[in-house]
A and B are shown apart, each in its own frame.
Chain A
């Protein structure tokens, strides 16, 4: 028996994508939208098998949202031939620097400095980057979240509370985060207010 990790390590460029793209991308987007609309919520997103170090959740998110119109920045060890080839074949997204990217993939350390990413303009705050942060685990512990999408308050294990607070202070400008761990997905939009316990 192979472990999931072994299977992932052997995923060739051409496989691991959606087998019925319209239906699977619709289901994937429902999970993606739910977590963005409800910061703190953790959903399972496991419809693609990307090559390591891209997680299952981040790979499925990439297939759902990326195409030739979305420049992608790969940070640190995520910038490898396996990930580049897989994303190119399945999404045809062009690669770009952190400053030009619509989407950035990597762990929190590799994605630094976050000041490099686009935060939109006062007239067009939507012209901002979305960071897909790879984490070792996700749980409803740690920082306390309040704001749009949250009834009273929620808790989420964030990679960096101070950076999240600085990003919220820029509202309506700022970048938005997706947090991935294996096949788990959560989000932290710029509108969420973050405080420590």
Chain B
């Protein structure tokens, strides 16, 4: 028996979050205000995602937590332990075994199924915030569908750099209505936003929840003569040799040698377990306990 209420939050808070999730699903891409609670971790460490996960977790669920695609980084490990302790749910590092996946800044490489839920940690939910600091004004802009400023920003990118330089948190338009911040995922992940799973976005400090029902139309903003390009580093993974996964660049020593590896650790490991070996990798060996 845990000393915590199931999944940490009190029932009234969960009801409030659940009602916000339902309105978010009914109006895809619209940011629903919610009364975000103080959590036992600092803002910026996924308090929004944690509250959304706490409101959707069932006792029977298996949970996975990733940070930039990795299961073994500080943020992912601490949130996974948080739910092991407060909800007593099973956890996994394997994408296809998870019912609820909480993510910081990546979408898993493996396609998600209809019965899975992807919960995003969102730092700044308002895509127009860096263009217009006033909440009153950005709310009015969403109400009037006044998104010209966002196109001006992308145009200025092209004018200065010759291409759209925004490489993460790339703005999208949902069902032809709301412009939405997909959280700081790389733009490589943007095409995956149209998926079979339910996607929920939680911003704790900014007190917003928004959602994408399965198969919702999500279009990355672009121009006819500068179409959206979901680019990634032009290398194969050094460990598993994958040509089509999103890569992290890792500096190896003081003389500047580097390698590119999959950011999705579960994807990379399962490929290596299946016998794929990259040019800097070694054959996979099952770690014995």
Contacts and interface: CB of A to CB of B under 8 A. Distances in A.
A, B bound: yes
Nearest to A68: B12
A38 B81 CA distance: 31
Given A123-B139, A126-B23, A23 B6 contact: yes
A148 B214 CA distance: 7
Nearest to A178: B22
A65 B7 contact: no
Given A149-B213, A149-B215, A150-B215, A191 B27 contact: yes
Nearest to A66: B15
A26 B57 contact: yes
Interface string A130-153: 100000000000000001111100
A67 B15 contact: yes
Contact of A191 (B14, B26, B59, B139): B26
Given A23-B59, A126-B30, A38 B213 contact: yes
A149 B139 CA distance: 25
Contacts of A121: 143
B56 A30 contact: yes
Interface in A2-29: 21-23, 25-27, 29
A1 interface: no
Contacts of A32: 18, 22
B175 interface: yes
B177 interface: yes
The CB with the most chain B CB atoms within 10 A, among A36, A64, A69, is that of: A36
Interface string B94-129: 000000000000000000001000000000000000
Determine chain B's interface SS by DSSP, over half rule.
mixed
- Interface range on chain A (Cβ under 8 Å from partner): 35 or more
Nearest to B21: A33
B26 A36 contact: yes
B198 A126 contact: no
B18 A64 contact: yes
A172 interface: yes
B26 A176 contact: yes
Interface string B2-20: 0001110001101110111
Contacts of B24: 126
A10 to B, nearest CB: 28
B143 A122 contact: yes
Nearest to A151: B215
Given A37-B25, A191-B26, A126 B215 contact: no
Contact of B25 (A22, A30, A149, A171): A149
Nearest to A30: B58
B27 A26 contact: no
A59 interface: no
B144 interface: yes
A33 B198 contact: yes
B57 A33 contact: no
B206 to A, nearest CB: 15
Contacts of B19: 65, 70, 102
B69 interface: no
B184 interface: no
Interface string B46-61: 0000000001111100
A98 to B, nearest CB: 19
A189 interface: yes
20 contacts: A22-B11, A23-B6, A26-B7, A26-B59, A30-B56, A33-B25, A37-B211, A65-B18, A66-B15, A102-B19, A126-B23, A126-B30, A126-B33, A149-B215, A151-B214, A172-B27, A172-B178, A176-B22, A189-B27, A191-B27
Interface of A: 21-23, 25-27, 29-30, 32-34, 36-38, 64-67, 69-70, 102, 121-126, 128, 130, 147-151, 171-172, 176, 189-191
Ordered nearest first, which 9 A-B pairs have the shortest CB separation? Answer: A149-B213, A22-B6, A122-B143, A189-B26, A126-B23, A148-B216, A148-B213, A37-B213, A176-B26
